[in-house]
Chains A and B, each alone.
Chain A
Amino acid sequence: MTWVKANADRLVELTWQHLWLSVVPVVIGFLLALPLGWWASRYHRFRAPALTLGGVLYSLPSLPLLVIIPGIIGTSFLDPINVAITLTLYAVALLVRTVADAFGQVSAEVLDAASASGYSRWQRAFGVELPLAGPAMLAGIRVASVSTVSLVTVGALIGVSNLGSLFTEGFQRYFTTEIIVGMVLVVSLALVLDGCWVLVGRMLLPWARGRTA
């Protein structure tokens, strides 16, 4: 506890760093996965390639990726952007399938009824398909969010500071308190973010309460 008090400022700073490294990739990843997943669900011959690509992307080990990306886009090794890009790729990989499945499970009868009422193609895509795919997509975002929070810690290995830095330092100094505090903060952050997504869902998808997600 004394250690926590003495290092409070740094812990807060690391938490903020960790927070944006977790949220930004999930949000951008979702925005990229949305059109890809919609496309994959709509045009069946793109489904298999898109989902396979996602699977391959997700299977790439994160550490080498963190080392390769600066070489490709010309950033410095310590730039947090590298971590953000890597995690965005993972988020896309994870979410393309979810988004494709989410659009796939929208009831064909409801879509038919919408067309018969005079929805144009685009009105139907945004006014009916997107919201009805919402609950399943939200469930996927929650998984991606939790997994991203834990993946961010890998960034500490290449020197991008976040709550994972508490693990690396703790191991180097055989200082258990620091590791435990790090773990508690990471888990708490994951839970808080998850709670935020649930709230976002309640706001945007009020009709889905008590159904899915």
Chain B
Amino acid sequence: MIEYRSVGKTYGDGTTAVEDFSLVIPSRSTTVLVGSSGCGKTTLLRMVNRMVDATAGQVLIDDVDVATREPVALRRSIGYVMQQAGLLPHRTVIDNVATPLRLARVSRGEARKRALEALERVGLDAGLARRYPGQLSGGQQQRVGVARGLVADPNILLMDEPFGAVDPIVRADLQHQMVELQQELGKTIVFVTHDIEEAFLLGDQVVILRKGGIVSQVGTPAEILASPADDFVRSFVGLDKGHRKLRIEEVEGQQVVVDEQGRATGVLAP
């Protein structure tokens, strides 16, 4: 369990990224922080592994304040997947994936073996293992990033817009794979995105943020859609645009789901 208690972050120059943020993130589920750029979501994410230190309040992991943990050791115990994958360009794919294990002093042979398993788990061919990141496509690099985040089998996985920079088809593919991986692995995932569709697809708990890390609403995707807290949330999740307002029409004996403009989006399962 990760808990934010009245967390704030004010930088040295006086700008406030996060004002007063509290949230409980249950274990073995995915929590998505979603909001426009500048809402402080990445800052909040990076407080978990002390890439950013809070200037007010506390962040606790299983009731231990992260401020009391040594940052390097803390980071090694938490998986981190970032936008643009953040791979080391001078290390081969397999060495990139093995990095967290090598830093934890796992022997080279063992680290490579587990790295290969992690590559396989994210659907990458072992033939890519000896290549350098620059020789891979954006989607492949992102998979390598996920494999690196998972290789040391951390309880917590932090993901900072990991699929933001790949094309929509590859992104959909990566998102669905993430759902499958999570069903299998059951990690505590904190996921940051500005894409509400992605948030609803991946999140067990979705947190909609406004500028300054102010929480507009917390809930399951269904709860948020069913009762949006205010106009900001209603507009943010697209309830004001019509494609979320669905109704059923009878066509040739089938119940067809259509949106406000009458465009068909699917059929109702019997």
Residues on A with beta carbons closer than 8 Å to the beta carbon of B89: 110, 132, 207
**B-facing residues in A114-128 (Cβ within 8 Å):** 114-120, 123, 128
Query: Is B185 part of the binding interface, using a Cβ–Cβ cutoff of 8 Å?
Result: no
Q: Given the interface contacts A117-B99, A118-B103, A123-B103, does A110 sit within 8 Å of B88 by beta carbon?
A: yes
User: A113 near B: Cβ within 8 Å?
Assistant: yes
Q: Which of A109, A123, A132, A207 contacts B134 (CB 8 A)?
A: A207
Task: Please tell me if the beta carbons of B103 and A117 are within 8 angstroms of each other in the complex.
Answer: yes
Flag if B49 contacts A116 (CB, 8 Å): yes
Say if the beta carbon of A112 comes within 8 Å of chain B.
yes
Q: Does the CB pair B99–A115 fall under 8 Å?
A: no
> In the complex, what distance in Å separates the CA atom of A131 from the CA atom of B110?
24
Closest to A131 in B: B90
Complex Cα–Cα for A112 and B46 (A): 11
- Among residues 48 to 100 in chain B, which have CB atoms less than 8 Å away from a CB atom of chain A? 49, 51, 72-73, 75-76, 80, 82, 84-92, 99-100
Q: Which residues of A contact B148 (CB under 8 A)?
A: 117
Which one of A110, A113, A118, A211 has the highest number of Cβ atoms from chain B below 10 Å of its Cβ? A118
State whether B86 touches A112 (Cβ < 8 A): yes
A118 to B158, CA, bound (A): 13
> Interface residues of A: mostly helix, strand, loop or mixed?
helix
Question: If the complex has contacts A119-B103, A207-B132, A207-B134, are A114 and B90 also in contact, measured as CB distance less than 8 A?
Answer: no
Query: Per a CB cutoff under 8 Å, which of A114, A118, A134, A208 touches B88?
Result: A114
Distance from A202 Cβ to chain B, minimum over Cβ atoms (Å): 14
A115 to B73, CA, bound (A): 11
- How far does the Cβ of B162 sit from chain A's closest Cβ, in whole Å? 12
Interface status of A19 (Cβ within 8 A of chain B): no
Could you tell me the distance between the alpha carbons of A134 and B90 in the complex, rounded to whole angstroms? Answer: 10
Residues A207 and B90 in contact, CB atoms below 8 Å apart = yes
Instruction: For the complex, give the distance between the alpha carbons of A131 and B87 in Å.
Output: 14
| Beta-carbon contact of A113 and B82 below 8 Å | yes
Q: Does A193 contact B (CB under 8 A)?
A: no
Task: Say whether A117 contacts B72, CB under 8 Å.
Answer: no
Report the Cα distance A111→B87, complex, angstroms.
Answer: 10
* Given contact pairs A113-B80, A116-B75, A117-B76, a sample of 8 additional A-B residue pairs in the complex whose CB atoms are under 8 Å apart: A112-B51, A113-B82, A115-B75, A116-B46, A123-B103, A128-B88, A132-B89, A208-B90
Which A residues fall within an 8 A CB radius of B?
109-110, 112-120, 123, 128, 131-132, 134, 205, 207-208, 211
